[in-house]
Chain A
Amino acid sequence: MGKTLQAEAGVGVWPKEGWTRIPFWIYTDPDLFQREMDTFFYGPSWNYVGLDCEIPEPGSFKRSWIGERQVVVVRDKDGSIVVHENRCAHRGARFCWNNKGKVDSFTCPYHQWNFALNGKLQGVPLKRGALGKGGMPSDFDATQHGLKSLRVHVEGGSIWATFDPNAPSFAEYCGTQMHEYVQRLFNGRPLKLLGYNRQFIPSNWKMYIENLKDPYHATLLHSFLITFGLWRADTQSESIPTEGGKHGIMISRNVGKKESAATSEIKRFKGKLELLDMDSVTPRQEFDDGKVVGLTLFPSVVLHQQANTLGMRQIIPKGLDGFELAWTYYGYADEDAEMTRLRLRHTNLYGPSGFVAMEDGEVLVESQQGAGGYGHRAAVIEMGGRDVEPQDHMVTEVLLRAFYKYYREAMGI
């Protein structure tokens, strides 16, 4: 049998131009998707699963996700945090049916196997049988049948987990630069939970990783940000790939509304636009460095700090062509009421209805639509040159190039 048209055209093969091209088949190949889950989410990576302020007391739990696997994040009796797969050690049924709650122990509803908060199997009904018949074999060893627990790291109140017992430390996984920026947000100040948003975006999960490695689009697409000076091409900014392109750091500054030589080139700068409520776009300075920072900590999360909103954007793949974006907004427990008020107002920038994020949801769907059936073609990413070195501006796709350099090495393609 002859090759299909797509195979002849090189589907499954990276274009010869290398990291300045992204072939569209990587968004539509089901085998590749499964390999990504195994290599990244279930491999030696640290995945974001929650904030400690979400589970304040012993017995408090929340459900979270790593890749397509659901996990339960639990505050143990001694106050430490543990993370278990949400599947019973017996038959694999999900034992935890609520997004949040507080319990003394977990009981799987199917056969009522009971697990301690730390995951230890502590009860098997009818273990000795009934009327002298049945029951577990006398050598059944409960210690071998606890919940599958993950390695956990807590960084200033943010909770991370890995399936791989041999993964490097969290700090090592982040690398120095990323770790410092994570600590800039999570420095030990107690956190305050402000709420959630959940969005389902019907596109491949990598498109969201790309979105936050592409400051170029933000200077053009996001008219609201540009107009009110929250993110502009003509501000002091940086685009820094780290750890060989795995992670990415985007830095800008809030400069307010002003016209410049660059704004005349940006069609979506709306000089005449005035808001009635300027609080919505007027942040109070919070960090001494004056920076606005977006961190992509691969593979599971984007950490954003923009205006006065702080958020974790957890990326939860739902098959090849869709993902949930779970937003958690937070502040600090000791901040004043005015700061919290501003944070809540500024959440209007981000989330499924955010003046900025709404537009990302829109264009990602269109990108996925544009990938289907075009595995033999490739996207071109040459803005800001063809290399993968850090740049001191945002009119660049360097973070994307660096990421695909890393991705190809990690995936062996």
Chain B
Amino acid sequence: MQTTTDTPPVSVKAAASDHAALRHELRDLYEEIGDLLDDNRVEELPGYFTEDCTYKVISRENYDQGLPAATMFCDGVAMLRDRILAIRETQVYEPRSWRHFISGVRVLAIEGELIRARGNFLVTEAFSDADPTLFIVGRYEDVLVRRDGRLLFKQRLAVCDNHHVRRSLIMPI
């Protein structure tokens, strides 16, 4: 079962200065993805994932208890593509815009071809008749691999500090 292969949290001591170039590359990648989400180009998101990826938005409550259920649960890139199709074709929601603020991107470990990385996100949400509010805060727990020179996500978990999702979570984080 895919859910049992979620990478457990590892200690953060491995982040080292010899990963500086990789860290720089990751920071660019994370910001590029934040930008495409903020820019309403979510269709481009699956291109950053491997076919057998896991993508989840999951509460810290579930994550810390090792519970498999998630707020968004994509087991393979096909499910991520389907979710994006649903957002565009079937889902009814009040229009709004989001903005990602990404910080603290760091390499945790390199294990063979797997790169374990972490970064913080803060996402604001703005409705067309109201000011932005803080929507979701958390951290990415990522596993990446390099394919044809490009870094791809084998795992991206957006682990949210929020106790609640206010109203609804429409877009991937």
Contact = CB atoms under 8 A, between A and B. Distances in A.
Partners in one complex: yes
Interface of A: 99-100, 193-202, 221, 223-224, 227, 268, 270, 273, 275-277, 280, 324, 329, 337, 340-341, 344-345, 347-348, 351-353, 355, 357-359, 361-363, 365-366
B111 interface: no
A366 B94 contact: yes
A369 B76 CA distance: 39
Contacts of B164: 198-200, 324
A200 B167 contact: yes
13 contacts: A195-B67, A196-B67, A196-B69, A200-B164, A224-B86, A276-B81, A277-B78, A280-B82, A352-B71, A355-B90, A358-B91, A361-B167, A363-B92
B40 interface: no
A196 B59 contact: yes
Given A276-B82, A341-B1, A362-B92, 15 more contacts: A194-B68, A196-B59, A199-B168, A200-B166, A201-B167, A202-B166, A273-B85, A273-B89, A275-B82, A340-B68, A352-B165, A358-B93, A358-B168, A359-B91, A359-B92
B65 interface: yes
B168 A353 contact: yes
A324 B163 CA distance: 10
Interface string B84-100: 01100111111000000
A308 B78 CA distance: 20
B22 interface: no
Contacts of A340: 1, 68
A281 to B, nearest CB: 9
Q: List the 4 closest pairs (A to B, CB-CB), nearest first.
A: A195-B69, A195-B67, A352-B165, A276-B78
A198 B59 contact: yes
Interface in B48-80: 57, 59, 61-62, 65, 67-73, 75-76, 78-79
Contacts of A201: 167
A198 B57 CA distance: 13
A359 B67 CA distance: 25
A361 B71 CA distance: 14
A364 B79 CA distance: 27
Interface of B: 1-3, 57, 59, 61-62, 65, 67-73, 75-76, 78-79, 81-83, 85-86, 89-94, 163-170
Looking at A340, A344, A345, the one whose CB has the most chain B CB atoms below 10 A away is: A344
A197 B76 contact: no
Nearest to B66: A195
Contacts, number: 128
B71 A197 contact: yes
Contacts of A196: 59, 61-62, 67, 69
Given A197-B71, A200-B167, A348 B1 contact: no
A196 B67 CA distance: 8
A337 B5 CA distance: 14
Nearest to B172: A353
Given A197-B59, A199-B164, A347-B73, A100 B86 contact: no
Looking at A227, A273, A276, A365, the one whose CB has the most chain B CB atoms below 10 A away is: A276
A357 B57 CA distance: 16
A344 B163 contact: no
Contacts of B165: 197-200, 352-353
Contacts of A277: 76, 78-79, 82
A195 B68 contact: yes
A223 B62 contact: no
Nearest to B166: A200
B71 A194 contact: no
A353 B167 contact: no
Contact of B167 (A268, A345, A355, A365): A365
A197 B60 CA distance: 10
Nearest to B61: A196
Contacts of A341: 1-3, 75
Contacts of A223: 89-92
Contacts of B2: 341
A153 B110 CA distance: 51
A345 B61 contact: no
A302 to B, nearest CB: 17
B2 to A, nearest CB: 8
Nearest to A363: B92
Contact of B73 (A193, A276, A337, A345): A345
Contacts of B61: 99, 196, 198
A222 B80 CA distance: 20
Contacts of B71: 197, 351-353
A353 B90 CA distance: 13
Nearest to A309: B69
Contact of A355 (B57, B62, B91, B94): B91
Nearest to B67: A195
A198 B89 contact: no
Given A277-B78, A347-B73, A270 B90 contact: yes
Contacts of B67: 193-196
Nearest to B127: A365
A353 B169 contact: yes
